[in-house]
Structure 1
Amino acid sequence: MMLKFIAKEIQFLKITGDAPDLKPPDVYYSDLLTQPSKEFEIFARRIADTCAAQKAFTTAAIQIDPAAPEDVIDKANEVFHNCFHSVLDEDRGIWECLDPFTAIFGFWDYQTPEQGKKLLDLLNKKISQALNVELIMGTIAYPFHDFPVEEMAGCALKALDHAAFFSPGHAVEFDGLTLNISGDRLFQLKNIDAAITEYEKGLSIAPTDINLLNSLGVAFGVDGYLDKAMEFFEKARNINPEEVMVIHNIALIHRINGNNDSAIAYLKKAHGINPDIFEIELLMGHLLSKEKKFDAAITHLESAIRLKPESGTAFRIKGQIFIEKKDAPGAAAQFNQAIKLNPNDPEALAGYARAMALQKKNLAIALSFAKKSLDLDPENKRYKQFLEEIQNIQAQIEEKNQDSTIKSA
């Protein structure tokens, strides 16, 4: 079982690679493969029909910056048309506009791959000069491994998504990383089976790619196939024993399987390689707290807070530690901070209510928080128990006050 109240932050991690500052595109053109536009359907059908008999051809998706001046976007279609016909002709290629700033091209009738690249470079250069903007471009040349003709248009869109991670002026040839990005997009859309297929295709191209091995392990892990997930994490670790994300994911598999000692051992290794990863520090703090190693747990939780101060989870776990240490005021302060960051965290609400009840203060607030935690998670027996305890404490205090009043009278 995943950890119920920290599953959103303690989860499998993807490898970011050497350029963590790269940002994903706002629009993924590969989404057209599952929700095709009329324009893409027309091009995909034409490229499949026209190129089926070709021994070699190139498909390229080209985009100008959507933030370009309006007059540039207005003339993009005309420029795409003119540049295509100045480099090629109807007997050597086809093209289609996908939207006002994006077009997809297919062309053939060249002798060598180098000649094909020269034609592509010339087309790219002419469009860029005519519009006075830099382009991003994704390309794929057929034949490519054992990929069928029918997939070339979609592969060009995936390569365009890959190129969009970089600045304008960047071109990407379809490769294993392209499929990792495509798989990640499907994973993001919760289409896990399709993501697995993409990662597997990527590994058929680049069988030792750690990103793909890790991504496939994550997908299998999320799908509940923990043995398969571990198989791919271990393959990735054998290639690079120092990849902290892979080590963390192995630790998480051990945690899910209830092997906390093994999980902690892997996390210690990951921490030794890089002590500045929030998820590693948070999981380490959580597991050490479960082992009653409170001082060590707090050290890692404070690191997690330093790395991600907007997260309430580490504050909540610290609150639970203070409860265990019978420090109700300290616990209340931590739970209070957790609730400020996430007012609908039932565990923090219940913990704060209990911390106040242990001090026999602010019982009206404690009762309100306890009720809210139970409303958020009605099946939680602990929350129901906390609510009943607070109600009993409040009843005892009221009864004591009534007795005092009677005696005074």
Structure 2
Amino acid sequence: MRAASFPVSPVNGSLCLTDFSLLASRFKRVFFALVPTATDTRFLLIPADLPSTEKQQEQPWLTVARHAAQTGLPKKESPDSLYFPMCGAEREVLVAEVSGVDPLVLEKATDEWLADTGQALSDELKKIKGEFLDPITGLYGCNLFFEAVTEAIDRQDLHLVLIEALPPSRSIRDRFSPVLNTGSLLKNYNRRSFPLFHLGMAVFAILVSDQQRINLSSFCLSLITALKGHGCRRVRCGCTSVSLQRGDGRLLHDHPRLLLDEAWQALQVACRRGPFAFCDYDTLINPEHAPLRPISRSLIAKVRRRCRQLDVFSLVLFTFDFQKKVGADVLLDAGCETRHMLPFADGYLVIVGDARTDEVRAWAVGMIERICSNKGADYSLSAGISAYPEHGSRIAEIINNTRKALLHAAFFGPRSVVVFDAVSLNVSGDVFFAEGDWNAAVREYRRGLDRAPADINLLNSLGVTYALMNRTGDAVRSFTRVIDLEPDNFMALYNQGLGRQAVGQYRQAAASFSRAREVYNPEDTDQAGAIDDLLYQLGICFFHLGNYVSCMDMLTAWHARQGAVKSAGACCRYLGISAYHRQHFPDASRWLQLALAHDKFDAESLSLLGDSYRILGEGDDIALRLTEKAVEIAGPEPVFLLRWGRALAACGKYDQAIEQFRRCAAVRKTRIDAWLEIGTVYGLQGRYRQARRYIKKLITGRDVPDEIRSRAQTLCQHHESLR
């Protein structure tokens, strides 16, 4: 018996744009060594095409560089430059400009010499890159990570995101596949070509630059959602940032390990939050920067002491809309009269006793108008109001509710006054959601629903959060409640479909997606951002329901709209398998090849591609290698054994084929197909008596499909004619 293959193959060392940033100095030394007399090398990103008007205005050297990019051939340009196309992206090609070349060398450089030099350069650069690649994923390894951090640390707003996505495994073989799959998914997700590393033990790192901190949580959330949507069973992110404002860039430049330690600490917190979560290190070390940071005990004690004699009171928190101004506290104090005023955070907390909230709101509005009238527009304030008693709330929560009301007020612009309500809890839940603290977000949304059980936004927000926490049943119930209240709510229908799909209810999920498609409004930005994924998920539902025609119609159109960005991946896999089951084998081969370019360890794609080659007569030896590789990866899966056996038979290895078919015959779902294959192979060997025993089972059996029975009868007649 042949030994099973080790589940890792040599990595692909093809060049990409990021290589010429991280390894630029090493690459330049290669150019100086292989191009005689060269004095300088630049790496240029050349657009693949330009409007004719712009082409007419570009400089001559750029025209030559573009010609090299378009033809893929090195070019020379007087007086001293050579242009070598190195690698391409979606709409750009990287061209190496080698200047300072001696004019005599340039004059004697033939097209053949240029082509040979270009190939030699490419080979040497790939060797250099290979020294820094992780052998499992083909991503940059840990040995290049610290160097990349040190070089990038002086840039403003550099972010490090660590990703952990390794589910529990039952065997050594099962540990490799998730790592390889996660690496492939991250490469596909990383459209902006940020440096991507595998640090080991299924921990990946992305160095994100040119991205504002405010967008970092959105980046992590988008990444988690994308990987979860592609079947990852858990994804956690920990992130940290360094900027010129932070003030410790020099320290991090000398000790880049500190940046990794920060992201690692944040990742540990994310791991405790659930299977899909993220955490920003800044929120751990600077909790005072959080909009809903804990309230000091001293302030709670002061408020409790001043309200001891009051059965009913309200708290009003005034804060400046722009910048804190001197003298406002004096005006507020004068306007408060008998009311108590306490400094709180960046504002002032006023205790108003024995008044209804509408009266308190009117007083706060009047106070802001008087201050702005007295001091000018620069003294613009807003206010948040909360009332006591509040069911089940303590003094600390009443104080915190004023901040939630202020966050709510920010949506209305300067000089706004808001009384704490269910919408305020929706806003505070969104704050926790953006920080990756989904348990706290759920708490806020549920408190909001206690106040407003039919609030559509709260129900949708709660459902989305439950989905990210893997509480799929709770998520579906939330979305179903929204649809009961508002049957044409696109986002609820879409999210309900995702939840049903996650638990394998593909028919119900397809119904939800189809209904959402019917009510889609292209003018709604939220709906426009979700429609592409909805159509993709609907295609997947059709696939699982066996409706391969609708699946291919949906996913082919979806794939065409994505352009080159998603030219490979899960979509190609679904299309390839669907084409195979429709017996469109040329299409199946094309799509499955693209799928394997994305994940070369996809056993089903390997098996089906091999069987397609066998059926099309495009190489029985290739079909045998592919189907055998699928069995090595997936183990003795009966369907894979059946295809392997067919490839063995096509190569004339009849005894080995029969051995595999007998293994399939021991399993109910492949028994009938295996009997037919055994009868066929025995016939090819001229062993008609053994063949007849299996063919008779197919002709007289009860549960044999008509198509198989007919083939068995034809085979029996053929054998009789040969005897």
TM-score, normalised by the number of residues in structure 1: 0.64
Please say if residues 368 and 415 of structure 2, whose CA atoms lie closer than 8 Å, have aligned partners that are also in contact: no
What is aligned with 2:537? 283
> How far apart are the structure 1 equivalents of 2:444 and 2:597?
38
1:268 deviation in Å?
A: 0.5
Please say if residues 217 and 232 of structure 1, whose CA atoms lie closer than 8 Å, have aligned partners that are also in contact: yes
What is aligned with 2:555? 297
Q: How does 1:183-202 map to 2 (within 5 A)?
A: 183-202=429-448
1:229 deviation in Å?
A: 2.6
- Which of structures 1 and 2 has the larger relative contact order (alpha carbons within 8 angstroms, sep 6+)? 1
What is aligned with 1:242? 488
Please say if residues 87 and 122 of structure 1, whose CA atoms lie closer than 8 Å, have aligned partners that are also in contact: no
TM-score, normalised by the number of residues in structure 2: 0.38
Please say if residues 319 and 351 of structure 1, whose CA atoms lie closer than 8 Å, have aligned partners that are also in contact: no
Equivalent residue for 1:51, pick from 307, 315, 322: 307
What is aligned with 1:16? none
Q: How does 1:224-263 map to 2 (within 5 A)?
A: 224-263=470-509
Equivalent residue for 1:83, pick from 331, 334, 359: 331
Equivalent residue for 1:122, pick from 359, 362, 366: 366
What is aligned with 1:404? none
> How far apart are the structure 2 equivalents of 1:195 and 1:287?
30
Is 1:95 matched with 2:342?
yes
What is aligned with 1:31? 290
Q: How does 1:310-321 map to 2 (within 5 A)?
A: 312=565, 316-320=569-573
Please say if residues 251 and 263 of structure 1, whose CA atoms lie closer than 8 Å, have aligned partners that are also in contact: yes
CA separation of 1:284/1:81 partners in 2, compared to 1, >3 Å: closer, same or farther? same
1:10 deviation in Å?
A: 8.0
| SS in structure 1 at match of 2:536 | helix
CA separation of 1:52/1:289 partners in 2, compared to 1, >3 Å: closer, same or farther? farther
Please say if residues 364 and 417 of structure 2, whose CA atoms lie closer than 8 Å, have aligned partners that are also in contact: no
Could you give the per-residue CA deviations for residues 119-175 of structure 1, whole angstroms, max 9, x where no partner exists?
211222233332514433322233345533331210011111122234223332211
Q: Which amino acid aligns with 2:462?
A: L
Please say if residues 244 and 273 of structure 1, whose CA atoms lie closer than 8 Å, have aligned partners that are also in contact: yes
1:296 deviation in Å?
A: 2.2
Q: How does 1:9-408 map to 2 (within 5 A)?
A: 9=226, 31=290, 33-36=292-295, 41-66=297-322, 73=324, 76=325, 78-89=326-337, 91-98=338-345, 102-109=346-353, 111-129=355-373, 130-133=375-378, 134-274=380-520, 276=528, 277-278=530-531, 279-289=533-543, 291=546, 292=548, 293-301=551-559, 305=562, 312=565, 316-320=569-573, 323-324=576-577, 325=579, 326-327=586-587, 348=598, 350=600, 381=633
Please say if residues 386 and 420 of structure 2, whose CA atoms lie closer than 8 Å, have aligned partners that are also in contact: yes
| SS in structure 2 at match of 1:255 | helix
Please say if residues 52 and 149 of structure 1, whose CA atoms lie closer than 8 Å, have aligned partners that are also in contact: no
Please say if residues 285 and 301 of structure 1, whose CA atoms lie closer than 8 Å, have aligned partners that are also in contact: no
CA separation of 1:87/1:302 partners in 2, compared to 1, >3 Å: closer, same or farther? farther
CA separation of 1:131/1:351 partners in 2, compared to 1, >3 Å: closer, same or farther? farther
CA separation of 1:115/1:173 partners in 2, compared to 1, >3 Å: closer, same or farther? closer
Please say if residues 139 and 173 of structure 1, whose CA atoms lie closer than 8 Å, have aligned partners that are also in contact: yes
> How far apart are the structure 2 equivalents of 1:170 and 1:241?
34
> How far apart are the structure 2 equivalents of 1:54 and 1:122?
24
Stretches of structure 2 that go unaligned for 5 or more consecutive residues are 1-166, 168-180, 186-222, 230-285, 522-527, 580-585, 611-631, 635-723
Please say if residues 409 and 416 of structure 2, whose CA atoms lie closer than 8 Å, have aligned partners that are also in contact: yes
1:209 deviation in Å?
A: 0.9
| SS in structure 1 at match of 2:411 | coil
What is aligned with 1:377? none
> How far apart are the structure 2 equivalents of 1:94 and 1:209?
34
Q: Which amino acid aligns with 2:573?
A: Q
Stretches of structure 1 that go unaligned for 5 or more consecutive residues are 13-26, 336-345, 359-379, 383-409
| SS in structure 2 at match of 1:8 | helix
> How far apart are the structure 2 equivalents of 1:286 and 1:347?
20
| SS in structure 1 at match of 2:393 | coil
Q: Which amino acid aligns with 1:120?
A: A
Q: Which amino acid aligns with 1:124?
A: I
> How far apart are the structure 1 equivalents of 2:600 and 2:359?
69
| SS in structure 1 at match of 2:290 | helix
> How far apart are the structure 2 equivalents of 1:332 and 1:136?
59
Could you give the per-residue CA deviations for residues 347-366 of structure 1, whole angstroms, max 9, x where no partner exists?
836499x99x99xxxxxxxx
Could you give the per-residue CA deviations for residues 315-338 of structure 1, whole angstroms, max 9, x where no partner exists?
644433564554599759988xxx
1:58 deviation in Å?
A: 2.5
Q: Which amino acid aligns with 1:48?
A: R
> How far apart are the structure 2 equivalents of 1:119 and 1:112?
11
Q: Which amino acid aligns with 1:46?
A: K
Please say if residues 79 and 127 of structure 1, whose CA atoms lie closer than 8 Å, have aligned partners that are also in contact: no
Q: How many residues align?
A: 319
Q: Which amino acid aligns with 2:555?
A: A
| SS in structure 2 at match of 1:253 | helix
Q: Which moved more, 1:202-211 or 1:168-177?
A: 168-177
CA separation of 1:7/1:94 partners in 2, compared to 1, >3 Å: closer, same or farther? closer
Please say if residues 159 and 178 of structure 1, whose CA atoms lie closer than 8 Å, have aligned partners that are also in contact: yes
CA separation of 1:317/1:44 partners in 2, compared to 1, >3 Å: closer, same or farther? same
CA separation of 1:317/1:143 partners in 2, compared to 1, >3 Å: closer, same or farther? same
Please say if residues 463 and 478 of structure 2, whose CA atoms lie closer than 8 Å, have aligned partners that are also in contact: yes
What is aligned with 1:407? none
1:206 deviation in Å?
A: 0.6
CA separation of 1:123/1:221 partners in 2, compared to 1, >3 Å: closer, same or farther? same
Q: Which amino acid aligns with 2:598?
A: A
Q: Which amino acid aligns with 1:80?
A: A
> How far apart are the structure 1 equivalents of 2:328 and 2:633?
65
> How far apart are the structure 1 equivalents of 2:541 and 2:377?
57
> How far apart are the structure 1 equivalents of 2:485 and 2:599?
45
CA separation of 1:284/1:108 partners in 2, compared to 1, >3 Å: closer, same or farther? same
CA separation of 1:253/1:192 partners in 2, compared to 1, >3 Å: closer, same or farther? same
| SS in structure 2 at match of 1:9 | helix
1:294 deviation in Å?
A: 0.5
What is aligned with 2:90? none
Please say if residues 137 and 163 of structure 1, whose CA atoms lie closer than 8 Å, have aligned partners that are also in contact: yes
